[in-house]
A and B are shown apart, each in its own frame.
Chain A
Amino acid sequence: MTLAFVEREGSDPTEETLEMLTLARELADGDGESLDVVAFAGGSRLSVDELGAYGVDEVYHVVHDRLDGYAPEAWGESVAQLASDVDPSAVVAPGTDRGHEVLAHVGATLDVPMAANCIGIDVVEDGAYELRRNRWGGSLIEHARLEAGTTLLTPAEHEFPIEKAESTTDPSESEFTPSLEDTQFRVQVERVERADEEGIPLGEARVVIGGGRGVGGPDAYDQLEELADLLGGTVGASRAAVNEGWRPHDDQIGQTGAKISPDIYIPCGISGAVQHMVGCKGAETILAINTDPEAAIIQKADYAVIGDLHEIVPELNDTIREA
């Protein structure tokens, strides 16, 4: 059996969870075994309605009177206890902060290896996997062989498509109550502080306008902001621009910043370093504006405009406004 850790927003699985289920189902199908999921109840619980479309056979709701909010160690311990009970060949989690954190705790508790950022996995024989995983944000691929009683895996973000199963299942549900100690609650979310953010968070934006070193200074971002407003999007920046102090770090797109997955990304004056591309490879379409036709970003874009963003963007804004 493959056991997948599901993150939910309200009663629905998150997008990253659905991506992860594509990998988990491949593993389960490869083994000819079932695909079971585990989700934490508290406030609300995961709705099973949608999960049948993704081939889920069984849903375990973790129920515990102290598990209302997120507590990394307690969650990891709970998944580890469930895994010891139901003995899956693999436990898979989304390639998110929380997915990595929970699974790392599971790995530490069960004292087994964990492979993060996987892009492809083959089951070679009983209990042994040959896998490929991203290094350097995907500019290198590591081929590895993993053999463990329970194999722990996360997919690389935006590497697997959200795909429904060929045949729909009718998931059964059960509750699992872990036995937890006080010390496992020494780390938990005390409160969530809502940001009074103007505009749309980068990770959720359908349109992202990026500005790099070519923007030349903080003021010229006004043009990019205007374009973002016109298209209902938000503005991001390259690490170079953030290091110059032109934009806050929260705006950074890349390996050590935000990973975006908009319908369209419009990088302006961004050369396209490997570390930047890691952050924007989830974009459906890339339309690059750059003075240098040889820039790496042009090689990686779907559409390109060769020229100076300081001339093109204002003109583009005017044209859209008049349209």
Chain B
Amino acid sequence: MGWLFAALLIVMLLTGINYQNSLIFLLTFFLGVVFVAAMHQTHSNLSGLELTLIHAGEGYVGDSIPFLFRGSAGKHDNLALTVGVEGASQGSRLVMQHVRPESSSDMRLVVTATERGYLLLDRVRIETRFPFGLLRAWSWLRPQTTAIVYPKPLLPPVPVDHGVSGDESGIVTQAPGQDHVEIRPWRQGDLLQRVQWKRFARTGEMAIAEWHGEQGNPDWLDFASFPGVDTELRLSYLTALVLERDKSGEAFGLRLPGQDVEPDGGPAHTQRCLRVLALFGTNGRNSDREAA
């Protein structure tokens, strides 16, 4: 817009010269000087602002992840600020906010997550075009706080057996922390992977091993129970299952290669599991950054 405006001023100047019109000169000079003054206005409209990322949200891949910024103004107004993220990979929606002198106001920047793990905003660009929209002043912010993106929940197409390793020995594997096992006949509604297939081969009767412990009826969600499936997809399945368990209020544990989450229930547990799923396999550098 600024270039267009400059072009307009030049055309006006030519008109003024050609028709020896002093008033067009006057108008051109006035607008030109206002243009220069607007540079300072626009700049000072941004200066003195302190922008902090105060909260990074969490969400699933494909979701919009909110980042909450807080802008605190110095001595003058910081009007019509917009916050955006650079780069096409992190499509961002823009917000417009005014910060009055000596006060602060919060701005929500929403970013669409494309992959699980830590979501670090690349470069956040805060800019303003106030007052006339002809010029832009901007500044960069590289927030170090990351959002966490969980895998996109996908229900597994068919329930997959997850007790394989336990059944091979013919003995029902005892999960740690469980006291004893009770064998009961299969009934409608039991997951197929809980059927003791070895026992079925021997006796021809479908039976279910039910563990009784302090946590009642724990259920292990295991990374290994989707053989041949891509890691990301497994994580998606597990995420869906975690959410399902969370909904039904069942206690469950999560078993990932090299990382177990003890069976438990409640929102805090669910979130912990989701985080583990989100961060599975991500290198430590990201978490380092988070610490910084």
* Same assembly: no
